[in-house]
Each structure stands twice: as structure tokens, then as C-alpha cells.
Amino acid sequence: MGARLQQAPPTPAHQRFCPPPRSALPMSWANALIGAVLGWILLRHPLGAVIGAVLGQWLGPRWPDQIGATPARLLEPLFALAGALAKADGRVSAAEVAATERWMDRLQLDNSRRRQAISAFDGGKQAGFPSEVRARELARCCAQRLDLKLMALGALQQIAAADGAVDPRAADLHARIVAWLEVPDVLWRQAAAQFDAGPASATSASTADYALLGLTANATDAEVRRRYRQLLARHHPDKLSGPKVTAAERAAAGERTRQLIAAYERIKNARGLV
């Protein structure tokens, strides 16, 4: 039967994440979760080089107004597809389970959402699982958010490759998921290449570092300094105060600040700035 995710206590009736959304969650919660997810990827995974480039569009003053999809809606279809990919070769391995659980940890799922994610993962392993239906559901949840689609595809690829190599059947299913999410094939090939390339150098600036600042490598030194100061002031956790600020919001702000500092240090070193 293969390895299994550690099951939490049973939850009440199953609840869908992706009905047609009537309204977004409170903006601070949505911002915190998006920041946490993208912060993990940008800091700990080379796929962030592509996602960072997409994210660059969102770093201007419009950022709070452009969130069209609630990240929580992604969880059920995402983990259902993860189950399908893990089972594609006929057996779910302990490495695939561990990779899935790491993504649950990265998304800071509480007990209730973790149970729902595990239930979705188990459902994805079943014979006759409707992969296309759930992938298109995931696409609807992402709306036009290409960054969220790339995040989901990166998570699925990381889970599929947890054993060290992607089984051909899992690779075929992942390719179909890319198509069902309507992500341009050339963009995903670039993302996959970044995914396989290994961590970026700690001292060399990359396109992703500039994109994280909302700039290109053609920016002047003055523009780089000014943009860095603006973003650091905007995202620093010290900006958060009050009893309604959650631990997840503080963690997201901290991750965001660390990635900005790391990107700026690499750019500064590459340019010889002091």
C-alpha cells in the first residue's frame, strides 16, 4: 500500500475550498499566507527565480489591491493532485509522504486544514481519480495568478521528485497538469530548469534578486538603493503591531524581510556597492 501521511483526528463533514468565491478573506490574512508561501520558495528553492520574476509585477503600490484568489482555496485540489502524482507509479513512498508533509508545514496549516489536506491527498491516490477535473479546479482557484500556479506546480514537482527521480508516469501526469493550469509550456520549462539547477550562489546576483525588488539588472545604483529602502520599510515585521496581528503574519513579514536583505546583499556585492 505504500507510506501514509500521519492522520490527525477525524474532522466533521468534508468542506470544499473552491466554490465560486464571493469575497476574499481579510486582506491581512491573505497577504500573510501569500508572503509565507512565496517567502519559503524564494528563500529555500531555486524555483523562486521564476516566481520572483512574476512577483516583481506585484511589488508596486498595487500589491494589496491585486489579490484575486484566496490561497486557502488551493489546498484541497493541490494536495489531491499531490496524492495522484505520488501514486502514479503504483506506490506512495515514504519520501513522497515526507515531501508532502513539508509542504503542509511550509503552508502553516492548522489541524483542521491539515486534516483536509490529508483527506485530499488520500483521495488523490484512489483509482479513477479525476485529475483533470481537480487540476481545472486548482486553475479556477488561482484565477489569473501565475505566481500561484507556478508555486503549485513547483510543489507538485518537488513531491513527485522526492525519490530522487520523477517516474515517467508521474512526469506525464505533471505535464498534463501544466496544460490544464494553462501555464505556457515555455515558462514551465524555464521554471523546471531553475528547479533542477540547484541553489543560487550566495554572492552572485540573479534575475530573481532584481525581480524581487521590482527592478531589472539595468536599474541604476540609486534606483536599487531607493527601491530596497522602500520595500524594507513596507515589509519589516516591526511595522506590525496590535493584538490582531497573528504569528503567521509576523513570520511572513520576517521571511519577506530576510529575502529582501539577502537579494540586496547579492546585488550590492555584484555591483561593488558600499
pLDDT at position 205, please?
Answer: 59
* Chain region(s) in the chain for CATH 1.10.3680: 68-197
| pLDDT bracket for residue 194 (50, 70, 90) | low
Of 251 and 213, the structure prediction assigns the larger pLDDT to 213
Hey, is 164 helix, strand or coil?
A: coil
Q: Which CATH number fits domain 207-271: 3.30.1490.20, 1.10.287.110, 3.40.50.12780, 3.30.420.40?
A: 1.10.287.110
Give me the sign of the Cα torsion angle 212, 149, 199, 104: positive
- Mean pLDDT along residues 138-156: 85
Q: Among residues 161, 151, 72, 50, which one has the least CA distance to residue 117? A: 72
C-alpha cell at position 233: 520599510
Most confident by average pLDDT, 44-48, 169-173, 199-203, 209-213? 169-173
Query: How distant is the alpha carbon of residue 127 from its chain centre?
Result: 28
Q: What is the pLDDT of residues 80-137, one digit of tens each?
A: 999 999 999 899 998 899 989 988 888 888 888 899 999 999 999 999 999 999 999 9
Q: Are 173 and 84 in contact (CB under 8 A)?
A: yes
Task: Kindly report the CATH number that applies to the domain delimited by 68-197.
Answer: 1.10.3680
Specify the amino acid at residue 160: A
What is the chain's alpha carbon radius of gyration, rounded to the nearest angstrom? Answer: 19
Tell me the one-letter amino acid at 199: P
Amino acid letter for position 235: H
Q: What is the pLDDT of residues 26-69, one digit of tens each?
A: 333 344 444 444 544 444 444 444 444 444 444 333 333 333 33
Cell of 1: 500500500
State the pLDDT confidence band at 262, using cuts at 50, 70 and 90. confident
In the chain, ranges of CATH 1.10.287.110 domains: 207-271
